[in-house]
A and B are shown apart, each in its own frame.
Chain A
């Protein structure tokens, strides 16, 4: 089976580096899936989960914020993101609390752009953590 090298790099550190068979992400212009041998591309990512299916079938979920997906024939797939958190590092309970807190603050000011952004970010984190926690696949 053909594989490709996938790297997920956040602003703070390299998060993932593995051989993968498939990669799915949410681009700003729509959902995308990448298989080995994909056409070279540069795709801006929306706030959302990135799902990487490893060569051995293991699934890695990463919550990504402000990301960029770079597909290159030689270098493989590189996900560059401000924030990239693997599901295993997100605490479901704390993520839920963070969502609740932002929602509460939003209730008093429903049009605050910064809060809306932050709500989306926290929701994605929660989504990623919950899916990984219960063992259901991302999609």
Chain B
């Protein structure tokens, strides 16, 4: 009987598709719950960034911020690009999208005759660039999934040091902006130099305010904090986007698995019916042959 072998094979394929479906459904649900958590972290980090900005803006009214090493704009020769990708895959086009923007930025900068230095967050991005023979000056893994200020300040510190020492003249931050669970857009933002316009519009500190250390000293302390908060924000947005992207990818994978299982079942039922038909006609044929032989 040729049919039974085929049926067994189909049954095995259906089983494997269904078990894959269980995994993708679990991943979908995990990602869905983590989107919310990640979104909440984005919101929770906002007050700090706003307060820091307000305080610097207040100090900027009476103090010169333009001369701070992190605000000094100069002709760009060496450019650093920080790319935020994920550690894990199975997140749809999430990494591909952000890497596309990174590639475009690299191309633009190199076309303008500038040297590009690459900093990569996330194992996926590191692997992508390693495969293409572009060495990242530094790569971080383990911080993109649930970003902390420690992780963010490590990244920020690395580029701030080299910007202050004028090894870099511009730093791009490439990350994924979480607009909603359906829309995440890869974006690039100029992290350094910080534009003085960002600190405009502050209300002057009242004259009785005590500064410890003095105003300029405080500005020196606060501006790096501000840059760190920006990096943290980018990492948090990226993490939320990663989970949203994974949720969508896993949702469609689960749906596809249902479709495949359904069409395989149809083929299998057909094969089973064919087999039964064959068996019946064999029996009938056999019986007829016997009766006519008598």
List residues of A whose CB falls within 8 A of some B CB: 9-14, 27-29, 39-44, 66, 68, 70, 78, 80, 82-83
Contacts and interface: CB of A to CB of B under 8 A. Distances in A.
B208 interface: yes
Contacts of B206: 40
A82 B153 CA distance: 9
Contacts of A39: 208-210
Interface in B218-247: 218, 221-222, 225, 228-229, 232
Interface of B: 41, 44-45, 47-49, 51-52, 55, 59, 148-150, 152-153, 205-206, 208-213, 217-218, 221-222, 225, 228-229, 232
Given A11-B149, A66-B225, A78-B51, 19 more contacts: A9-B48, A10-B149, A11-B225, A12-B45, A12-B232, A14-B47, A40-B205, A41-B212, A42-B55, A42-B210, A43-B211, A44-B217, A44-B221, A68-B55, A68-B222, A70-B55, A80-B51, A80-B52, A82-B228
A11 B213 contact: no
Looking at A10, A13, A42, A82, the one whose CB has the most chain B CB atoms below 10 A away is A42
Contacts of B153: 82
Contact of A41 (B47, B59, B148, B209): B209
A9 B55 contact: no
B51 A13 contact: no
A12 B46 CA distance: 8
B149 A9 contact: no
Contacts of A82: 149, 153, 225, 228
Contact of A43 (B51, B152, B212): B212
Contact of B205 (A14, A28, A42, A80): A42
A80 B45 CA distance: 12
A110 to B, nearest CB: 22
Contacts of B152: 11
Contacts of B44: 12-14
A82 B49 CA distance: 10
9 contacts: A9-B47, A11-B48, A28-B212, A41-B210, A42-B205, A44-B213, A66-B225, A68-B218, A80-B48
Contacts of B150: 83
A13 B47 CA distance: 7
A92 to B, nearest CB: 20
Given A11-B149, A11-B229, A42 B212 contact: yes
Contacts of A44: 212-213, 217-218, 221
B149 A12 contact: yes
Contacts of A70: 51, 55
A33 B206 CA distance: 21
Nearest to B51: A80
